[in-house]
A and B are shown apart, each in its own frame.
Chain A
Amino acid sequence: AQSVTQPDIHITVSEGASLELRCNYSYGATPYLFWYVQSPGQGLQLLLKYFSGDTLVQGIKGFEAEFKRSQSSFNLRKPSVHWSDAAEYFCAVVGRGSQGNLIFGKGTKLSVKP
């Protein structure tokens, strides 16, 4: 069955430190890959997406993600975290031949220490 795994439920980093959030997927073929962010009480905002081509993709707010086909992974990174990055982050996939319904991971909650 198709699934997305985010192994870290909660991560705490210090402001200014680097960040990596892990995401692994299980899918028949390489899906489209997404990272969304949800701030408390807010909806979901798209950070970045990968369809094909360059495996390192840049997104908004200084985030980037790297697709590794051999590891079925799509990890999210940021070189220097800001306090405003505290939020919940969701990795999601969509099957290329599907109607577009997203399959989400369980999310990783990011806390930022001053």
Chain B
Amino acid sequence: DSGVTQTPKHLITATGQRVTLRCSPRSGDLSVYWYQQSLDQGLQFLIQYYNGEERAKGNILERFSAQQFPDLHSELNLSSLELGDSALYFCASGGLETQYFGPGTRLLVL
């Protein structure tokens, strides 16, 4: 158990819809990272928050957004969903030297 929690575990939705994925970092960690794992793109970094502020951005689509709240949990919002957004979404907490990954949210867009 990494100490990072993610909800929900699975999500099935339709194209055009909007979903929110939630992540709680390990106790004491200020950084949250979001990654997407898909068959064609592999594991890609999406976005990082540190203590409520956006710190780094990767290959995140404009339809996707994230935020980190005062209690340090983070949410990843995916809107106008397309079939190609079906993937496993991980969040991780930690920092430069070590990141601990949550179990992921598997999103299926039908």
Contacts and interface: CB of A to CB of B under 8 A. Distances in A.
Interface of A: 32, 36, 42-46, 49, 51, 90, 92, 94, 96, 98-107
Contact of A101 (B58, B90, B102): B58
Given A43-B4, A46-B100, A101-B33, 8 more contacts: A36-B101, A51-B97, A96-B96, A99-B50, A100-B33, A102-B33, A102-B45, A102-B99
B95 interface: yes
A98 B99 CA distance: 14
Interface of B: 2, 4, 31, 33, 35, 42-45, 48, 50, 55-56, 58, 90, 92, 94-104
A13 B71 CA distance: 46
Given A98-B56, A99-B55, A106 B99 contact: no
B52 to A, nearest CB: 15
Nearest to B6: A43
Given A98-B56, A102-B35, A106-B42, A32 B90 contact: no
A36 B94 CA distance: 15
Given A100-B31, A100-B99, A43 B48 contact: no
Contacts of B97: 32, 49, 51, 100
Contacts of A96: 96
A104 B35 CA distance: 10
B56 A101 contact: yes
19 contacts: A32-B96, A43-B2, A43-B4, A43-B101, A43-B104, A45-B2, A45-B101, A46-B98, A94-B96, A96-B96, A98-B96, A99-B56, A100-B33, A100-B96, A101-B48, A101-B58, A104-B43, A104-B44, A105-B42
Given A49-B97, A104-B43, A107-B42, A43 B103 contact: yes
Contacts of B58: 101
A104 B102 contact: no
Name which of A32, A46, A102, A105 has the most chain B CB atoms within 10 A of its CB: A102
